[in-house]
Amino acid sequence: MYKPNRSIASRFFISITLLIVANVFIFGATLVMFANRYFESDRLNTLNICVQSVEANILDNSRIYISRDDGIRAIADELELISETTQSIIILADKDGNIITSTNQYARNFAGRPMPPAATYAAKMVTSAVNVSDIFSENHTSKYYAVGKAVFDAQGQVAGYIYACSSTKHITLFTNALMSMFLLSSSIMILVSSIVALVVTSHMTTPLRKIADAAKRFSQGDLSVRVKVEGADEVAHLAATFNNMAEFADKNETSRSNFVANIAHELRTPMTSIKGFVDGIIDGTIPPEKQDTYLNIVSSEVGRLARLTNSMLDMSKLESGEFIMNVSRYNIWDTISDVAFAFESRIENADIQVRGFEPTRMIVSADKDIIHQVVYNIVDNALKFTHQGGYIGFNVSEDKANGMIVVKIRNSGEGIAPEALPYIFDRFYKTDASRSVHIKGAGIGMYIAKTLVNRSGGDIHVESQLGEYTEFIFTLPAANDKNEKTAEPKAKKEKAPKAPKAPKGPRLKAPKHK
């Protein structure tokens, strides 16, 4: 038996978890990258403002303070104020790039020394930040960014440089805090998402497991198993489809079992009779003067077996698609008349009254032999259940709106129970299985009738009132006048089809000419 290495639930959970983790990683990397760029850009803008503010103070004092001690002391307070306001370190350097002074205590120790090579600028404005951590700490644990600008004297010569520096420590601290919060929230999100994924997966796969278990039981022969349908999604549709399949298979199995039982009875009864009568003739139990009577009974039973065999062959052809139809245009009353006269003796013997037998011209487009079998099966079924002295009625009308001919065949009798009506046309169905002891048939006739009518382009249904009547109603496509004239040119001179000979019995009247 096949066993999956990994369930749908586990695969779905792993896939969702990996997807969430990947999304979180991408989002976190993107967030940190943009945060660093944003704060770095903001810091550089602040340093630029700081440099411009220091430059404005120097220019206001006629650029004399950039290289004079007294000038440096005069603007020291302004430098400290700007440094504190912008949270930056200010460095002044001479025209050669040597440090003059700084607002940072440690950086003052480097007075007279040149700025680091990376911070030596000949241009008017430094356009990017550089690392100058060498002059601000001994262990260089923190990197510094610097923005500088050259200051020019009245002759346009470089008089010195102004640098504004800021540590990246604050950006690093902010980034670390941001990452900590992000990792915490991401962990919570992944945990919650995993729980939700487990619940959703369980909700999705539980019905599938139930369907799989039901299918397993079904394959082991338990045709009564059904799956509870919940919701209206694809899984619910699958469960409903499984139930329909199981219902169909269960019904077919029940029909098959009933059919086997009915066929066994139908075959056993005539075969027992045939064997008994033949044995009686052979061993002399039946005297010669009575042998003809019993041989007629044997012939009747053989005919019964032949009819049963033919019905089963017809059913097999219908289900395999081998039934060939030869459609023509003809009067449906011809078929009804032929069938009615074929049952004349049964009608007379049971003292059954025939009603509505007044043939008119009703042209249909169908296979004459097939419709003959349909009418034969319906009339045969009607006579089986019509009591002594009852009636059988015929009615044919035209439904011009739908282009159909409607045929109704009604018989008196016990009728059919409402709960049995939906199953009348099912294979091997009998309204009462016990009737097979007294009534000939195996429940095939109505199934064949419905299939043949449907193949002919019509429909069939049954109506019944308990204790009163049962009526079979079927429709066939009507032949239009144009086709009728083409198919039957001689019909123009005839007012009605030739009436069949009247039967000898008093109950079945000959059709009148129209």
37-87 confidence digits (pLDDT tens): 888 888 888 888 888 888 887 766 544 445 555 556 667 778 888 888 888
Report the pLDDT value the prediction gives residue 395, as an integer from 0 to 100. 95
Instruction: Decide: residue 16, CB within 10 A, 0-12 exposed, 13-18 middle, 19+ buried.
Output: middle
State the pLDDT at residue 323: 63
For residue 389, being part of any structural domain is answered with: yes
Q: How far apart are CA 219 and CA 239, in angstroms?
A: 16
pLDDT of residue 503: 39
If one counts the domains in the chain, the total is 3
**200-238: burial string, b at 16+ Cβ within 10 Å, e else:** ebeeebebeebbeebeeebeeeebebebebeeeeebeee
Verify that 146 and 274 share a domain, yes or no. Answer: no
Q: Does 514 reside within a domain? A: no
97: alpha, beta or left, given left = phi > 0 and alpha = psi -120 to 50?
A: left
Same domain? For 404 and 276 the reply is no
Q: Are residues 307 and 328 in the same domain?
A: no
The answer to whether residue 509 is domain-embedded is no
Same domain for 31 and 132, yes or no, is: yes
List the CATH number of the domain containing 387. Answer: 3.30.565.10
In terms of domains, do 414 and 367 share one?
Answer: yes
Whichever domain contains 257, its CATH number is: 1.10.287.130
In a domain, 198, yes or no: no
Contact 181, 46 (CB under 8 A): no
For position 12, which CATH number holds? 3.30.450.20
**Do 299 and 344 share a structural domain?**
no
- Boundary-marking domain end, from 284, 299, 317: 317
Contacts of 365 (CB under 8 A, 6+ apart): 327, 328, 329, 457, 476, 477, 478, 479, 483
Residue 68 lies in a domain: yes
Within a domain: residue 212? no
Calpha distance 308→503 (Å, rounded): 28
| Residues of the chain predicted below pLDDT 50 | 1-2, 62-65, 118-128, 139, 433-441, 482-514
What pLDDT is attached to residue 499?
37
Q: Compute the distance between CA of residue 261 and CA of residue 279 in angstroms, rounded to an integer.
A: 26
- pLDDT on residue 265: 66
Assigned token pair, 211:
């369907």
Q: Is the four-CA dihedral 56, 62, 66, 69 of positive or negative sign? A: negative
Answer yes or no: is 498 within a domain: no
Same domain for 247 and 348?
Answer: no
Whether residue 358 is found in the same domain as residue 258? no
User: End of a domain among 173, 189, 209?
Assistant: 173
pTM: 0.44
Choose the final residue of a domain: 173, 201, 226.
173
pLDDT at 429 (0 to 100): 65
In this structure, the answer to whether residues 46 and 20 fall within a common structural domain is yes
Q: What was the pLDDT predicted at 436?
A: 39
**Predicted pLDDT at 116:** 64
Is residue 410 classed exposed, middle or buried when 0-12, 13-18 and 19+ CB atoms within 10 A define those classes?
buried
- Sequence length of the chain is 514
For residues 66 and 143, membership in a common domain is answered with yes
Residue 140 and residue 12 in one domain: yes
Residue 197, domain member (yes or no): no
CA-to-CA distance for 140 and 481, rounded, in angstroms?
109
- Asked if residue 252 and residue 162 are part of one domain, the reply reads no
In which domain, by residue range, is 144 found? 8-173
pLDDT reported for residue 130 = 52
